[in-house]
Structure 1
Amino acid sequence: MPSRVLSSAKAKRAVIGVAAAASLVGTLASPAQAATTLMPGGKIYAGAVGDTTTIQNATGTTVGVHSYGRLEGSVPQGRMISLDSSATWRTVANAQPGSAIYNNLVRWATTIKARGGTILLAYSHEPELSSKTNMGTAADFKAAYARVTTIFRQQGATNVKHTLQLTDWAFRTSPSDRVYAGNWYPGDAYVDIVGADAYNWYTCGEGRGNWVELSTIIAPLLTFGKAHNKLVALPEFGVTKDSRRAQWLTNAKNYIVSNEAWFAGVYYFNHPPTNLKNADCVWNLSTWAEYSAYGSLLKDVNFAY
């Protein structure tokens, strides 16, 4: 891993983290508590979902990994891990010592604790989607999220940053909408980082023919994070194949760096669509210009893996 020189980000993030406790809506109880949300070294973790090897070979730099795993299975490697389960949220929320769910959560917690280093963990990503209505209500999700966080903390997994992973639309829609982020927010006591999966669909999948910059897509996420004095993350972000993709990535990097004090992690979705409705989207990077643009982010002094 190439050496890194600490930028002013660490000091900047520390100042904002403390000041925000006194000035923002929905703050934590004290500046000391606010400071605990900062990432080690003032860095932003950067990487990808899916094919990290090609990005690494094309850019000549280390690529952080965001992986996905099931509670019932093994704990995958990754700087960020999304944890899902076949159990309903209410079942997880009610998990008691000795039950299979409780034992699996303890196994995950102790495994990640033993690895050391900061790990971003997202329980039941994108819970607001209609495809997850069989998992329960928003209240059930919040109770389950709190239970997972509590069990991890009871096991002493202090290296885990509990990350809420919603879609970008959850932050952009009206508060009256069922999927609005505020309806799914488990509370400041249980969330360390607020994340959004952000995509520029353009004309594919859910797109409506509008080319949208990342800054526009995630501005509401940043507003929400600041209101709760929480760092933000992009567990997934992507842009469908287009001649403007390299410039879009460059603009994305510039926006993230300009707001670096509030970012914890960013992971490009270098993976084929996982939903048949979006089968025509091409997220994987493919040209030298695109790899160069994303490689510039990975090699930036403010980013780590």
Structure 2
Amino acid sequence: MRIRARGRAIALSAVALVGAGTVLSACGSAAGNDGSKGGKSATNARAATLAEGRSAAAGGDCGADAKLMPKCGAYWGIYSVQGKSLTSAVTDIEGKVGRRFDIVLRFHDWSNAAGPGRFPDASERVLGGSRLLFFAWESKVYQKQQSYKWRDIAAGAYDKSVVEPVAERVRAYGKKVFMSFDPEMDRHQNKGEMKGSPAEYVAAARHVHDVFQRAGVKNVVWVWVTTGTMSGVNPQRMLDSYPGDAYVDWVGWDPYNFYKCHNGPWHSFDEKVGPTYRFFQQHGLAKKPFILPEYGTQYDPADPKRSIQWYREIPGVLRGKYPNIAGLIRFDAGPGCNLKVDNGPGMLGSYAAAGRDTYLNTSGH
């Protein structure tokens, strides 16, 4: 669930560092797309297939294939608005943690205008020189808080004015980029922020993908991003919103330990990631690489040790339990729910220590 204010999100973005790897070919579809649900044995076999090409050891340049899948370890990324500019927001925290990040994430809108709608911009080009860029592209205009309907996007209503110009600029950029169309689409199927039904999202996502393909765009790695919320009707809603393997290269979701901000219990990194990870594996996506485009935690002043441990456990948990997760991007912003990286004593140091683990140094930095 996203907690940032869009007015701040349009100004800056997150960076993920270039990593390495071996990407898999498109795998079995999720239930609701090809009718298959994938039993437990099939799920285990798919997970084993993914793990075959990946090593638990990193430290050194793993390399990356056409879909940017690292064959060892996982990308360590950042989204930050804690700076005077996009570049300084990223480079300032890099200086504090003692390493360059692997990916930069930035949010862009549907305005096709200078600023939030025209990308990649000059700052992104600078950061992209030694990092991967991740564009989260949302079908709304931030300034007007105006959203567009998926059925209209699928019908081609915005091809000439928005989709084709963006496709051309991304193609001209040339370097491989991650890109998601309407991340957390399941959140936009609730009353009050309805963009359409799951089927309409699927049609829109496929149409945008096809427009890029017809424009000769070969440098986009498509990431399908949900909230990952495992309550109520949302698990089925997520499955129903899956565009299909031919349209999805990576699968992503956004786990947060909101704690008292949402009046909930404390959850460790493992506890937040595990349920959605297992759900996607069990429903036909086990051969897709996974990424956490946003994640974060609050700080617990009553128990600082467990707050610090939240970061420290990440490398070991990924290495030992979640081989599909090949990238994660820390959401570094506040106020509201304070989810900044350095949101309490000891947090910055433990985060920096996690990022120095060999499993999270796929580029040999």
TM-score between both structures, scaled by the size of structure 2: 0.65
Q: Does 1:245 align with 2:299?
A: no
2:171 alignment partner in structure 1: 110
Superposition map of 1:34-45 within 5 A? 39-45=69-75
Contact 1:96 1:102 in 2 (8 A): no
- Retained in 1: the 8 A contact 2:315–2:359? no
Between Structure 1 and Structure 2, the one with more helix by share is 1
CA-CA distance at 1:298 after TM superposition: 2.6
Structure 2 match to 1:74:
118
Question: CA deviation digits over 1:27-57, x for unaligned, max 9?
Answer: 99xx89x987661454522111124344212
- Report how many aligned residue pairs link the two structures: 277
Distance 1:98 1:294, change over 3 A: closer
Once the two structures are TM-superposed, the CA of residue 103 in structure 1 deviates from its matched residue by 2.2
Q: In 2 relative to 1, CA 156–102 (structure 1 residues): closer, same or farther, beyond 3 Å?
A: same
Q: How does 1:5-44 map to 2 (within 5 A)?
A: 24=42, 39-44=69-74
Q: Secondary structure at the match of 2:253?
A: strand
Change over 3 Å in CA distance of 1:154–1:54 after alignment to 2: same
Q: Is the 8 A contact 2:198 2:241 kept in 1?
A: yes
Choose which of 100, 103, 113 in structure 1 pairs with 2:161: 100
Q: RCO higher in 1 or 2 (8 Å CA, sep ≥ 6)?
A: 2
Give the TM-score normalised by structure 1.
Answer: 0.77
Contact in 1 for aligned 2:228/2:255 (Cα 8 Å): yes
Matches within 5 A, 1:288-299: 289-299=346-356
Q: Which residue matches 1:271?
A: 333
Task: Supply the AA of the counterpart residue of 2:347.
Answer: E
Query: What is the CA–CA distance in structure 1 between the aligned matches of 2:357 and 2:314, rounded to whole Å?
Result: 13
Aligned-partner SS, 2:186: coil
Q: Structure 1: which amino acid aligns with 2:136?
A: S
Q: 1:140 to 1:180 in 2, by over 3 A?
A: closer
Structure 1 partner of 2:31: none
Q: By how many angstroms is 1:108 displaced?
A: 4.3
Q: CA deviation at 1:182?
A: 0.8
Please name the residue that 2:357 is paired with: 300
From 220, 233, 245, give the equivalent of 1:188: 245
CA distance in 1, matches of 2:215, 2:96: 40
Does the alignment pair 1:217 with 2:284? no
Structure 1: runs of 5+ lacking an equivalent: 274-278
Return 215-224 or 192-201, whichever deviates more. Answer: 215-224
Contact 1:44–1:260 under 8 Å retained in 2: no
How much has 1:214 moved relative to structure 2? Answer: 1.8
| SS of corresponding position for 1:79 | strand
Whole-angstrom CA distance in 2 between matches of 1:82 and 1:132: 22
1:127 equivalent in alignment to 2:180? no
Equivalent AA in structure 1 for residue 272 of structure 2: I
SS at match of 1:236: strand
